[in-house]
């Protein structure tokens, strides 16, 4: 090794053809630069480690979600896109060569199909009555069942039971209850000396009868959701309002109801979407035990968009036309949902 006595920070020796700089005698600017470089390198390494960890966690999350996403794509998204394409064809579900007709199905549906327009009106009527009544009853029962009382758990179970019972079975039972001669409802009317009604064979009463059943069937679900919302309201707020002298109605209107806004918003959204798609009760009521008319009720008085779609697809085998009805039903529900979100979301507070 050769040594050379030079100024501090200069060459101090040569070993194996490489030049060494004595760090102990390095000039102050060189020491500062080395420390700064080390200080900057540490955060970069930590950031790189965080990015690697985030990517790994993201891949793990998608791996766990993959089975559910696969089912969602195969059985929901792909059929939905397929229906949009199907609406542009004339097809009977049997022939191998469907005919492309463009927007002809939509032209017929919106311009010349009187039954479709009637089904739209009756669907709106069904939704406008079923949703508010079932929500109001659900909220009332939830408030009553939220208080401590004997048999509260049994009553909660009994009210929720109709929602989880088989739909077709309950509709058949209610068809017997609507029977014009042996039905329970006409027996009640007769007890009050009122005329009997031909519930399911009269164009004026068939849809109100189905609405009556739907309210009974959906109220239990609303009760459970409202009870969950009431459970999240701190009891200290109710106690403070009671100490301040607020009456029961004032506590409900000024305290409970505003705090239930997120729950009410959810119930309203789900109820409207479900009511627009009603099919099974109409199918069984108008072609089952209690009624003698064809599907859709007498004079198609119970025809809704969902039931009309079903008959076009699986009775008339007009698959392309049914696809066009599906697209319009989707657009109607989407428009109603956007209007609801735009009007009500600003009045909903989650904290």
Q: Is the pLDDT of residue 216 over 90?
A: yes
- Give the whole-angstrom CA distance, residue 294 versus residue 276: 21
Task: Tell me the whole-structure pTM to 2 decimals.
Answer: 0.79
Interhelix angle for 206-231 vs 167-177, to 10°? 130
Mean pLDDT of 320-324: 94
**pLDDT tens per residue, range 142-152:** 999 988 888 88
90, β-bridge pairs: 99
Q: How far apart are CA 60 and CA 64, in angstroms?
A: 6
Q: Is pLDDT of 118 > 80?
A: yes
**pLDDT band, residue 36 (cuts 50/70/90):** low
Closest CA to 305 of 267, 268, 336: 336
Q: Token digits for 141?
A: 């029962």
Is it the case that residue 139 has pLDDT exceeding 80? Answer: yes
Can you give the residue range of the structural domain that contains 208? 102-347
Q: State percent of the chain over pLDDT 90.
A: 54
The number of distinct structural domains making up the chain is 1
Strands of the sheet containing 18-21, edge to edge, are: 2-3, 11-15, 18-21
Q: What is the pLDDT of residue 43?
A: 66
Distance, CA of 294 to CA of 25 (rounded, Å): 103
pLDDT at 22 over 50: no
Has residue 207 been placed in a domain? yes
Average pLDDT over residues 294-320: 88
Query: Domain of 149: which CATH number?
Result: 1.10.3720.10
The verdict on residue 204 lying in a domain is yes
Closest CA to 144 of 214, 222, 215, 227: 227
Q: Shortest CA distance to 350 belongs to which of 240, 216, 237, 229?
A: 229
Strand, helix or coil for residue 147: coil
* Residue among 19, 281, 350, 240 nearest 126 (CA): 281
Q: Give me the sign of the Cα torsion angle 278, 280, 286, 287.
A: positive
Q: What does the pLDDT look like over 144-191, one tens digit per residue?
A: 998 888 888 899 999 999 999 999 999 999 999 999 988 999 999 999
Q: Is residue 12 part of a domain?
A: no
Distance of CA 238 to the CA centre of its chain: 31
The verdict on residue 255 lying in a domain is: yes
Query: Residue 33: which pLDDT band, with cuts at 50, 70 and 90?
Result: low
- For the segment 73-103, what is each residue's pLDDT rounded down to a tens digit? 999 899 989 999 999 999 988 888 889 999 9
**pLDDT per residue over 220-260, tens digit each?**
999 999 999 999 888 888 888 888 888 888 888 888 888 89
Show the CA angle centred on residue 349, arms to residues 346 and 351, nearest 5°: 155
pLDDT at 245: 84
The answer to whether position 331 is within a domain reads yes
């Amino acid at each position: 090794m050769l040594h050379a006595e030079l100024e501090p920070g200069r060459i101090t020796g040569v070993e194996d053809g490489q030049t060494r700089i004595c760090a102990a005698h390095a000039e102050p600017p060189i020491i500062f630069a080395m420390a700064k470089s080390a200080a900057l390198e540490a955060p970069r390494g930590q950031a790189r480690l965080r990015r690697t960890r985030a990517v790994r966690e993201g891949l793990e999350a998608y791996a766990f979600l993959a089975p559910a996403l696969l089912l969602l794509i195969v059985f929901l998204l792909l059929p939905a896109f397929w229906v949009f394409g199907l609406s542009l064809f004339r097809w009977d579900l049997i022939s191998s060569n469907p005919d492309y007709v463009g927007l002809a199905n939509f032209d017929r549906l919106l311009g010349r199909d009187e039954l479709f327009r009637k089904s739209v009106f009756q669907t709106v009527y069904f939704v406008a009555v079923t949703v508010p009544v079932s929500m109001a009853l659900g909220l009332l029962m939830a408030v009553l069942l939220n208080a401590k009382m004997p048999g509260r758990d049994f009553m909660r179970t009994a009210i929720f039971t109709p929602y989880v019972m088989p739909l077709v079975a309950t509709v058949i039972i209610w068809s017997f209850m609507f029977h014009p001669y042996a039905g329970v409802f006409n027996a009640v009317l007769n007890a009050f000396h009122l005329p009997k009604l031909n519930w399911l064979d009269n164009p004026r009463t068939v849809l109100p009868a189905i609405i009556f059943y739907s309210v009974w069937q959906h109220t239990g679900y609303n009760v459970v959701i409202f009870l969950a919302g009431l459970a999240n309201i701190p009891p200290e707020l109710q106690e403070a309002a009671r100490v301040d002298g607020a009456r029961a109605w004032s506590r409900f209107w000024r305290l409970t109801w505003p705090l239930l806004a997120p729950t009410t918003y959810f119930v309203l959204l789900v109820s409207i979407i479900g009511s627009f798609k009603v099919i099974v009760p109409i199918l069984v009521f108008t072609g089952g035990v209690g009624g003698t008319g064809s599907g859709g009720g007498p004079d198609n008085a119970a025809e809704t968009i969902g039931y009309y779609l079903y008959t076009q697809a699986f009775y008339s085998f007009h698959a392309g036309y049914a696809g066009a009805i599906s697209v319009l039903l989707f657009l109607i529900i989407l428009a109603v949902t956007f209007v609801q979100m735009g009007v009500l979301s600003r009045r909903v507070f989650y904290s």
